[in-house]
Amino acid sequence: MTGAGDAVARLVRDEGTRVLATLVRVTGSVDLAEDAVQDAVVRALETWPRDGVPANPRGWLLVTARHRAVDVARREAKRLGKEAVAMPSIDPHPDPLSVRDDLLRLVFTCCHPALSLEAQVALALRTLGGLSTAEVARGLLVPEATMAKRLTRAKQKIAQARIPYRVPSAEELPSRLAGVASTVYLIFNEGYTGRVSLLSEAVRLARLLVSLMPDEPTALGLLALVLLQDARRPARFLPSGEPVLLSAQDRSLWDASLIKEGVALVGRALRRTPSTPNAYVVQAAIAACHDLAPSYSATDWNAVISWYDVLLSVQDTPVVRLNRAAAVAERDGPAAALALVDALTGLDDYPWWHASRAELLHRLGSASASEALARAEETGLPAVHVRFLDSRISSYRRAD
């Protein structure tokens, strides 16, 4: 596809999400709206590159999708011997506030707690991310047929459980927003292992949240966190796919513009959480400590560990303590960190716990590093990380 064609495709995808949100409100059906918008998107991709982008692309998509939805609803009513329900007309020039509200409704519908987390992730990618079922399946490493069934069940659950298409009330918002943020961050983490398409979609969804809720610390912190981590993307992997430790990354490859944007967002979010820390904001502050350090050796480990202590005050989990131990290893040495790691419970089936032990034991010159790596592999450590750790441990054994 040409550069102009790519630009049209991006425009269609971005506007398509907003059109879908409005059409779900109008039709009351995610399925019907999705089919109608998909048809409009296909027509846009066929005609816009040839005839030019219309002056009001969102209005064009809205009207085209509504016509399709009306046709489908009439055909279905006729098949069932029912009278077709009149569908409200659509304003082809909706005001920004109504578009924002429609999008917010769709975000919270896709990430409703009545749906399983895997269904939320899949539905968010399909509807908010604009990915096809095949693309979602590839991204989440699930057969396409399985993903199609998962999406169908999720949409049936929305219809059968009468999950409301609305923005949560003020008292519901903190807990519901946390679920939305965790869904987006889970998508980002899936992408962070190397599935770039997922990573890009997570960043796009995080930006969408901030555009919809610009004063919410959770949204600001989430976007700051993913940007500050995504800034390191160009240096995180070798051409062969092998991961590069933070200590060995070429910082000149990091995206300075993303770091600048992320740090500014951290500042905005911290000003909105003067008394009660927000987990995403604190994690973003930790990421900023790494991104702003001119070199690995110049990292302010005291600041990193202090921020982890703040994080533990609102999110005291074994995984957070494991990540804190990694910082302790840099400040106080591997022995101090290993003591903290070995004291953790509930992580026997967590591959990164075993991988952390393998790394620390390797640094201490212990032969037990290989055993820890074997357990990491058994519990599901990605093969690329297994190879990386094995090469480090093997090189140490050869040197010895």
- What percent of the chain is predicted at pLDDT more than 90? 52
How many independent structural domains does the chain possess? Answer: 4
In a domain, 193, yes or no: no
d(C-alpha 334, C-alpha 332), whole Å: 7
Do 265 and 340 sit in the same domain of this protein? Answer: no
Q: How far is CA 149 from CA 134, 143, 213, 241, in A?
A: 12, 10, 32, 32
Q: What local confidence, expressed as pLDDT, does residue 3 receive?
A: 55
Do 289 and 341 sit in the same domain of this protein? Answer: no
Residue 306 has pLDDT above 70, yes or no: yes
Do 87 and 14 sit in the same domain of this protein? Answer: yes
- Mean per-residue pLDDT, 65-69: 91
Do 271 and 359 sit in the same domain of this protein? Answer: no
Do 140 and 229 sit in the same domain of this protein? Answer: no
In a domain, 208, yes or no: no
Q: What local confidence, expressed as pLDDT, does residue 140 receive?
A: 81
In a domain, 202, yes or no: no
Do 289 and 359 sit in the same domain of this protein? Answer: no
Q: How far is CA 100 from CA 24, 70, 205, 207, 348, in A?
A: 14, 24, 14, 13, 44
Domain boundary among 283, 316, 349: 316
In a domain, 187, yes or no: no
Residue with tokens 């209005």: 59
d(C-alpha 310, C-alpha 50), whole Å: 56
The string of DSSP letters for 96-148 reads: HHHHHHHHHHHHHHHT-TTS-HHHHHHHIIIIIS---HHHHHHHTT--HHHHH
In a domain, 76, yes or no: yes
State the alpha helices, DSSP H only, in the chain: 3-27, 30-51, 57-80, 96-110, 117-123, 133-139, 144-160, 173-192, 196-212, 217-230, 233-236, 256-271, 279-292, 301-314, 318-332, 334-342, 351-363, 368-378, 383-399
- Mean per-residue pLDDT, 295-315: 97
In a domain, 266, yes or no: yes
In a domain, 227, yes or no: yes
Residue 215 has pLDDT above 70, yes or no: yes
For residue 358, give the CATH number of its domain: 1.25.40
Residue 86: which pLDDT band, with cuts at 50, 70 and 90?
A: low
pLDDT digits (tens, 9 = 90+) for 342-351: 999 999 999 9
In this prediction the pTM is 0.81
Residue 17: which pLDDT band, with cuts at 50, 70 and 90?
A: confident
Do 280 and 362 sit in the same domain of this protein? Answer: no
- Mean per-residue pLDDT, 322-336: 97
In a domain, 344, yes or no: yes
Most confident stretch, 59-73, 176-190, 310-324: 310-324
Do 353 and 309 sit in the same domain of this protein? Answer: no
Domain boundary among 284, 316, 348: 316
Do 102 and 118 sit in the same domain of this protein? Answer: yes
DSSP lists the bridge partners of residue 96 as: none
Residue 399 has pLDDT above 60, yes or no: no
pLDDT digits (tens, 9 = 90+) for 127-157: 888 778 888 888 787 899 999 999 999 999 9
Domain boundary among 71, 94, 117: 94
Range of the domain at 38: 1-94
pLDDT digits (tens, 9 = 90+) for 291-301: 999 999 999 99
Min mean pLDDT across 30-44, 151-165, 270-284, 385-399 is at 385-399
CA angle 176, 312, 276 (to 5 degrees): 55
- What percent of the chain is predicted at pLDDT more than 70? 94
Q: What local confidence, expressed as pLDDT, does residue 239 receive?
A: 84
Do 18 and 64 sit in the same domain of this protein? Answer: yes
- Mean per-residue pLDDT, 60-68: 92
Residue 288 has pLDDT above 70, yes or no: yes
Do 54 and 129 sit in the same domain of this protein? Answer: no
Do 155 and 173 sit in the same domain of this protein? Answer: yes
Exposure b/e, 212-230, CB count within 10 A at least 16 = b: bbeebbbbbbbbbbbbbbb
